[in-house]
Structure 1
Amino acid sequence: MLPERTDVLVVGAGPTGLTAALTLARRGVEVTLIEQRETPPVTSRAAVVHAYTLELLDRLGAGAPLVARGLPSVRFSIRDRDHVLFTLPFDRLPSRHPYALMVSQSVTEEVLTERLADAGVPVLRPYRLTGLRHDGDGAVAWFDGGASVRARWVIGADGLRSTVRELAGIPFTGPADSAESFVLADVRVDSTLPRDGASVFLARSGPLVWAPLPDGRVRLVATVADPPAEPDADYLQRLLDERGPARRPDRIREVLWSSRFRLHRQLAETFRRGPVLLAGDSGHAHSPAGGQGMNLGISDAVDLGETLADVRAGGPDRLLDEYAARRRPLAHEVSDFADRLTRLATAPPALRPARDLLLRLFAVLPPARHRIALRLSGLHQRPAAEGSNVALSDAVPGAVPGRRTGR
């Protein structure tokens, strides 16, 4: 049952909303978390948790249980069929987690939900937000059925089609031609590819990501022009045959689930409007290249949760403006970085020889590989890493330089 009042109302119980609520609860802030879906999803898009994200989750007591359920990936390889063009090592990252953790988003949500329950905060569902009004004392949120909640602050963590963002009147804009179509599937395959690292295959028809998951599963992600609603084994096998290993091709044994989605590169005009604050996909959407989306959302959530707790404890209101000023430029940077990775992967035929030469050059330059590994891992956000902070333009030509965002 919904309370009449709360300090912080979090709308959306995905990884971002769960993390924000957990951060607040552990700081002693009264928080209410609502979700419109009746049950948690059993399928998910995100499949990697990077090193910096794991460090943040360690602070919330969620890192160790998540690592126990995931599969460490110590390298990321870029391939042209059977030829490895570039390998990015994670095992030398300056972190207690020198790897990328391969784990389904649904498992990440389960772990966060368990930690949140330990903190005494349930996920209230299903409640669909229908109205939002803010005034000098905070905000009032209405839900289907007529129930309402007055909150001092509202966090919109309700995803790409955020109702909170729309009701707050915050524009969400991006390039008109930015939509991309993807196939997404978890499968079981007979494969000779190593399971201690993920790979992306560059092909004329588009890139294909091959990422191992626990329990012998493999996550496949591919850009395609017009995918079916639920790609079957034959469709996915054709993608592997066209883009994957050639000499010893993979063979799909079982499709556990599959889907398609379209993603637009968009960014909220502001991450704050009065008592309404945005985090995660509510504030930014971009290419899935590099597995940055969920990780950035969790980082947003910890930052926002800590900032709200500081204000609740007597800190100045301007701290919330500073949160918005930190996170929006970072989201823009990550979007640019993911776009650059996508353009590298989908270079037209005339530019592919130059691209492949560039990748081979990076492969023999350890400092360049280390910079990119730091950037992908998110460790460039950590204040302790400031001395070795990544200049993104040094790692990927033409990208936006990294910014310090840790608190």
Structure 2
Amino acid sequence: MTDVLIAGGGPVGLFLGSLLLQHGVTVRVLERRTGRNAHTRAIGIHPPALAALERIGVTQELIGRGVPIRQGFAVSNGRKIACMPFAPVSDRYPFVLAVPQPVTEEVLERRLRELDGGALVRDARVTGMHDDGSRVTLSVTIAGAASGHSAAFAVGADGAYSTVRTLLGVAAPEKLYPDHYLMGDFPESSPFGSDAALFLESDGIVESFPLPGGVRRWVVRLGSPPARPDAEQLAGLVASRTCVALDPGANTMLSSFSVRSRLAARMVSGRTALVGDAAHEISPIGGQGMNLGWLDAEALLPAILAVVRGGPSAEALRRFDAGRRRAAAAAARQAEVNMALGRPLPAGLLRPRNAAIAGVAAIPAFNALVARRFTMQ
């Protein structure tokens, strides 16, 4: 018996668990993995998410272990054509923070365990659920042993292939895009230091972001998915499009992905809510996904408190569902703009397009507006 069961112990589930524990709500976070994610996937934390993470007291540690990106450059044919400073987007956090996902999960897990050492249950797989109108019961297999867990409320934070969403029968149609990417981390060899760089080239975009420890991430758009991720191929593409040399033998992370999106038909079903990728999967280009999940969790908190404390909750849950679905749709549109910007263009169209970008960037009001949109303001 507990107040809230959270399926999924990634960054979003861990954050929501800590938020609830700080309000005196008993929580169990059920995570199928036996250990933390070892891969540096999501890296960017935007200002609204930094403000949300401050509510559980982890923001300053994350800043200390990350790289604040205070500006980004648009580059084409070896020339900087635009600069986007992030100073106008937030008085408190005028930057996008680059932190490896394993570090983020480590900090969030430690905070959860500080609040309740038994809150996180690993090797736990949800296999069934039942909502009788007053409580939700999850069937769970923990380390191979079947058990039942009951709570006043349940949350699915279990990713794009959410078991909870499937058990609820919530539709989430998949949309596929003609965009494929190869990305990897290499020792810093660019002239950009702690700045981000977007190389707008005729063969497609190359994105580059700093990481702690003298490491830099490179993301290259491809016309088709690679047969397998290859550091030599990635280094060759970066060199041909940007003239920056990478050492394939020093690569520390390598991945490829094709883009899809989905938005759940609803984020609330009875006494269960969906958050993060379980509710909405959007393109990783722009780095909004993890941040969107944290903001879901923050918005869900008042509704959960109303449920577990026996107060009126139906309207709070309705507002959460409508508001966060709108936010997810807006994020998906922004991601589509980001992807369109990075698609190949013939030189005859690339030059005027880039000239237009340079012109807009030279107008402070427009530059600040674009920076706010880019950082999820």
Corresponding residue for 2:353? 355
Q: Which amino acid aligns with 2:240?
A: E
Match of 2:25 in 1: 29
Instruction: Please say if residues 286 and 338 of structure 1, whose CA atoms lie closer than 8 Å, have aligned partners that are also in contact.
Output: yes
Q: Could you tell me which residue of structure 2 aligns to residue 217 of structure 1?
A: 215
* Contact residue 133 and residue 140 of structure 1 kept, 8 A: yes
Q: Secondary structure at the match of 2:341?
A: helix
Give the Cα separation in 2 of the matches to 1:127 and 1:107.
22
- Structure 2: distance between partners of 1:180 and 1:157: 26
Q: Does residue 136 in structure 1 map to residue 133 in structure 2?
A: yes
Aligned to 1:152: 152
1:358 Cα deviation after fit: 1.9
Q: Which runs of 4+ in 1 moved over 4 A?
A: none
Query: Could you say if the C-alpha distance between residues 291 and 171 of structure 1 is closer, same or farther in structure 2, counting changes exceeding 3 Å?
Result: same
Seen in structure 2, the aligned counterparts of structure 1 residues 35 and 152 have a Cα distance that, compared at 3 Å, is same
Which residue number corresponds to residue 254 of structure 2? 258
Distance 1:169 1:83, change over 3 A: same
Q: State the number of aligned residues.
A: 369
Contact 1:179–1:265 (Cα < 8 Å) also in 2: no
Alpha-carbon distance, 1:229 to partner: 3.2
| In 2: Cα distance, 1:215 partner to 1:118 partner | 27
The secondary structure found in structure 2 opposite 1:172 is coil
Counterpart pick for 2:339 among 339, 342, 345: 342
Aligned-partner Cα distance in 1 for 2:310–2:151: 17
Amino acid at match of 1:158: D
- Tell me the TM-score normalized by structure 2: 0.93
- What secondary structure is seen at the aligned counterpart in 1 of 2:234? helix
Within a 5 Å distance, the mapping from 1:287-326 to structure 2 comes to 287-318=283-314, 319-326=316-323
The answer to which of 351-360 and 288-297 deviates more is 351-360
Amino acid at match of 1:231: D
Write the letter of the residue equivalent to 1:165.
R
**C-alpha distance after superposition, 1:130-176 (max 9, x if no partner):** 1122221222111233211112211111111111111111111143x
Give CA deviations for 1:255-280 in whole Å, capped at 9, x if unaligned.
Answer: 11212223311111110111110111
- Counterpart-to-counterpart distance in 1, 2:352 and 2:279: 35
Aligned counterparts, 1:269-280, within 5 A: 269-280=265-276
TM-score (norm 1): 0.86
Contact preservation (8 Å) 1:23, 1:60? yes
Tell whether 2:164 aligns with 1:164: yes
CA distance in 1, matches of 2:83, 2:311: 46
Instruction: Specify which of 120, 123, 131 is matched with residue 123 of structure 1.
Output: 120
C-alpha contact 2:18 2:115 (8 A) present in aligned 1: yes
Match of 2:149, SS state, is: strand
Q: Structure 1 130/76 Cα, relative in aligned 2: closer, same or farther at 3 Å?
A: same
On the 8 A contact 2:153/2:308 being kept in 1, the answer is: no
Please, which of 37, 61, 74 is the counterpart of residue 57 of structure 2?
Answer: 61
1:204 is displaced (CA, Å) by 2.8
Q: CA deviation at 1:357?
A: 2.3
Cα distance in structure 2, aligned partners of 1:62 and 1:306? 21
Write the distance in 1 (CA, Å) between the matches of 2:166 and 2:218.
33
Provide the residue aligned with 2:365 in structure 1. Answer: 367
**Structure 2 letter corresponding to 1:359:** I
SS of corresponding position for 1:215: coil
Give the Å deviation of 1:93: 2.8
The letter for the 2-side match of 1:292 is: Q
- Percentage of matched positions with identical amino acids: 31
| Residue equivalent to 2:324 | 327
| More displaced 10-residue stretch of structure 1: 135-144 or 316-325 | 135-144
Distance 2:106 2:8 in 1: 14
Instruction: Tell me the residue number matched to 2:281.
Output: 285
Q: Are the equivalent residues in 1 in contact too, given 2:9–2:31 (CA < 8 A)?
A: yes
Is 2:85 the partner of 1:86? Answer: no
Judge conservation of contact 2:12–2:294 (CA < 8 Å) in 1. yes
CA contact (8 A) 1:11 1:33 kept: yes
Alignment correspondent of 1:237: 235
Shift of residue 299, structure 1, vs aligned partner: 0.9
Cα RMSD (Å) of the superposition? 1.7
What letter matches 2:150 in structure 1? Answer: R
Measured after TM superposition, the shift of residue 347 of structure 1 is 5.1
Name the aligned partner's letter for residue 214 of structure 1: P
* Contact 1:213–1:219 under 8 Å retained in 2: yes
Matches within 5 A, 1:30-49: 30-49=26-45
Structure 2: unaligned runs, 5 residues or longer: none
Tell me the CA shift for residue 251 of structure 1: 2.6
2:192 aligned partner: 194
Query: What is the DSSP-based 3-state SS (H/G/I as helix, E as strand, rest coil) of the residue aligned with 2:88?
Result: coil
**Whole-angstrom distance in 1 between the partners of 2:302 and 2:56:** 11
**Who is 1:182 aligned against?**
181
In 2 relative to 1, CA 132–311 (structure 1 residues): closer, same or farther, beyond 3 Å? Answer: closer
2:103 aligned with 1:104, yes or no?
no
Partner SS, residue 34 of structure 1: strand
Name stretches of at least 5 consecutive residues in structure 1 with no aligned partner: 381-407
How many angstroms apart in 1 are the aligned matches of 2:99 and 2:235?
Answer: 23
